[in-house]
Each structure stands twice: as C-alpha cells, then as structure tokens.
Amino acid sequence: MFSSSNVSSDFLILAVFTYFLVAISVGKLGTAKACGGAKSLIFSLFFTPVTGIIYTMTSPLKNILKIIHYRCKECGLEYTDHHKYCPSCEKEGKKIRLYRIIMHSY
Ligand SMILES: [Zn+2]
C-alpha cells in the first residue's frame, strides 16, 4: 500500500535534487563565460536554472589570453619562447637564467 503523501515527498526530494544538479551544471557552463561560474550558479539557484541558462548564454565568452614571456634580469630582454639561458648574454659568455612572466590579457 502506497500512501499519497509518501509519493509526493519522494517526488519533492527528486525535484530538489534535480534542481540543484541542473543549477550546478549551469554554474559549470558559466566558468567558460565572462560572468563566471559563481554568478551563473547563484542565478540558477535563486532565479531558477532556466534564468541561469539564459543569463549564462547571453554573457560573452571569457576571452583571457595567457601570455608567457621570459625576461633576462641582466640585459632586460624579453623572449616569447623558453631558453635555458639568455641567448644575448650567452654570446658574451654569461649564463643568465631567464625568469618567467605570466600576463593575462582580456
Ligand atoms: Zn640577457
């Protein structure tokens, strides 16, 4: 014998579970967007995942360029590719290690 209240509470738990699952999925989707995953998740939780999806979809794609440069502290020259020692200083017989600079550009 099934009581009707039991069935509806089971359905409610399932619905809430699905709601959170969808909201988290929208949040993950948002990590690739300019709005960010946290904002997408908050929108999905408070204004339903449908609103969250619309909000995430209308947000432009995250456009971050990661630029890595290698700079020599001896001569100040910058290289875009990795060298063990500064090629310019190496010609003068000095072995100067390059240090890495990471820049983020939008
Ligand atoms: Zn150098």
pLDDT by residue (tens digit) across 84-99? 999 999 999 999 999 9
Q: How far does the centroid of ligand 1 lie from the alpha carbon of residue 102, in Å?
A: 18
Q: Does the pLDDT value for residue 38 go beyond 90?
A: yes
How far is residue 66's CA from residue 103's CA, in Å, rounded to a whole number? 6
Q: What is the pLDDT of residues 72-85, one digit of tens each?
A: 999 999 999 989 99
Residue 72, CB half-sphere, CA atoms under 13 Å: how many? 19
Instruction: Give distance in angstroms: CA of 104 to centre of ligand 1.
Output: 24
**Inter-residue contact 53 to 26 (CB < 8 Å):** yes
- Edge-to-edge strand ranges of the sheet holding 98-105: 78-79, 65-72, 98-105
Give yes or no for residue 1 having a pLDDT over 60: no
- List CB-based neighbours of ion ligand 1 within 5 Å: 72, 74-75, 86, 88-89
pLDDT score, position 54: 92
Distance 71 CA to ligand 1 centre (A): 8
pLDDT of 61? 83
Domain residue limits, the chain: 4-58, 65-105
Percent of the chain with pLDDT over 70: 93
